[in-house]
């Protein structure tokens, strides 16, 4: 343990391949006690994962927003790295949607406004004596947003976030290929992003919550584009045109035309203030505890529903799988990728050029008229025929010469 801090571990809250999360009591000096969630990393994890873990704790420590989980301490327990965080009893939106079904529109607008506010704070926050963090979450999805039993919204898992701060250990380029495909903006597939990439992920998330349309387990950009089109069509059947247009503006493929965080926050707040039968906080206070109790009793499947339908995994994009092929298929059809976004990011300057994305493809459509192509094709055919005739003539000549020599 470090300093005067002491922990009493009560129970495990969750466990994964990289470690576990526990409910614990943190004792500090002068008898101060705090109920916390402590994430303990396995000692066997890779150096890269260790860097990500410590970076997430440090960046959360720089942020102070009611929709972002607070960090109390980054420490070591018996040789394992651990981070003590705010304990927020609740359920992530993937589990909430799987357990309850589609969410009421006022609840969705409320959740979206709180998340947009948190993301705007993360992007623009300037620590004392420093420069703006320019933090991008890069993995906004239902499973990374928590709704508490008291109606609070919390953004989770900044493990692959990109930010500008002096003590960062993991290089931004190392994380450029990580993400969850259904929620990744087109620029992210090419290794580029800005705060509008998080707008894209939030837009897809909010549309899913309105209709409970599970994301496909696919890595094909083309298939995901078609799925989003179907998702948008379903959403327009359950909300008014103003709300549908806002959500559509959040998932525009061209970064330049996509809504920004400030606009999204303001419009979602206005939509949420319209008269409605459902009050988001009261709704959460009724629904979230019931679903949490159901999970404790081992009823997590909720009447046979597919509990993973809303929670595809975060993965690393590979140059040899269907990611690259899907993107090439898309470029070969009719998608013009957005221009590269130039970011004022000193971190890139400190680590050298950004790592090229394996999905980056050079694509230039032919601008030649059809008749030029026909002419070139005909010319190639004539050359091929001429070559064959020349070879045959040569062979005939050799045969005649051989016959003269024998005679």
Q: Which residues are catalytic?
A: 139
Residues with Cβ within 8 Å of residue 311, at least 6 apart in sequence: 92, 94, 95, 141, 142, 143
Residues with Cβ within 8 Å of residue 207, at least 6 apart in sequence: 213, 231, 232, 234, 235, 247, 251
Q: What is the dihedral of CA 317, 262, 233, 210, to 10 degrees?
A: 90
Question: What angle do the packed helices 93-100 and 280-296 form, to 10 degrees?
Answer: 90
- Half-sphere exposure of residue 75: CA atoms within 13 angstroms, side-chain side: 17
Q: Determine contact, residues 103/96, Cβ cutoff 8 Å.
A: yes
Q: How far apart (Å, rounded) are the C-alpha atoms in residues 192 and 283? A: 38
Adjacency order of strands within the sheet including 90-92: 90-92, 145-148, 153-155
What are the distances in angstroms from CA 384 to CA 19, 42, 389?
Answer: 65, 66, 9
């Amino acid at each position: 343990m470090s300093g005067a801090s002491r922990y009493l571990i009560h129970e495990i809250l969750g466990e994964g391949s990289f470690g576990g999360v526990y409910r614990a009591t943190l004792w500090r000096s002068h008898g101060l006690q705090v109920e916390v969630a402590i994430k303990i990393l396995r000692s066997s994890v890779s150096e890269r994962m260790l860097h990500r873990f410590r970076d997430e704790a440090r960046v959360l420590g720089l942020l102070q927003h009611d929709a972002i989980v607070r960090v109390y301490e980054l420490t070591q327990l018996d040789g394992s790295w651990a981070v003590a965080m705010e304990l927020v009893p609740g359920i992530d939106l993937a589990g909430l949607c799987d357990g309850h079904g589609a969410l009421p529109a006022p609840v969705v607008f409320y959740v979206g406004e709180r998340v947009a506010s948190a993301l705007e704070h993360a992007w623009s926050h300037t620590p004392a004596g420093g420069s703006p963090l320019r933090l991008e979450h890069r993995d906004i999805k239902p499973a990374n947003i928590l709704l508490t039993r008291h109606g609070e919204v919390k953004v989770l898992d900044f493990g692959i976030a990109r930010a500008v701060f002096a003590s960062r250990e993991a290089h931004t380029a190392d994380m450029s290929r990580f993400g969850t495909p259904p929620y990744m903006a087109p620029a992210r597939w090419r290794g580029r992003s800005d705060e509008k990439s998080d707008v894209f992920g939030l837009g897809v998330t909010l549309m899913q919550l309105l209709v409970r349309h599970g994301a496909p387990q696919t890595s094909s950009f083309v298939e995901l584009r078609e799925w989003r089109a179907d998702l948008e069509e379903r959403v327009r059947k359950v909300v008014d045109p103003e709300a549908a247009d806002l959500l559509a503006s959040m998932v525009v493929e061209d970064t330049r035309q996509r809504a920004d965080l400030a606009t999204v926050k303001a419009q979602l707040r206005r939509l949420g203030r319209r008269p409605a039968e459902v009050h988001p906080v009261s709704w959460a206070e009724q629904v979230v505890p019931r679903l949490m109790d159901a999970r404790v009793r081992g009823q997590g499947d909720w009447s046979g529903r597919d509990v993973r339908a809303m929670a595809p995994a975060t993965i690393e994009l590979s140059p040899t799988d269907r990611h690259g092929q899907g993107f090439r298929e898309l470029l070969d059809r009719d998608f013009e990728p957005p221009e590269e976004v130039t970011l004022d990011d000193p971190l890139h300057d400190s680590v050298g050029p950004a790592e090229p994305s394996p999905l980056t493809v050079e694509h230039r459509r032919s601008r030649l008229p059809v008749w030029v192509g026909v002419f070139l094709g005909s010319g190639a055919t004539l050359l091929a025929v001429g070559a064959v005739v020349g070879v045959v003539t040569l062979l005939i000549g050799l045969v005649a010469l051989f016959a003269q020599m024998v005679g």
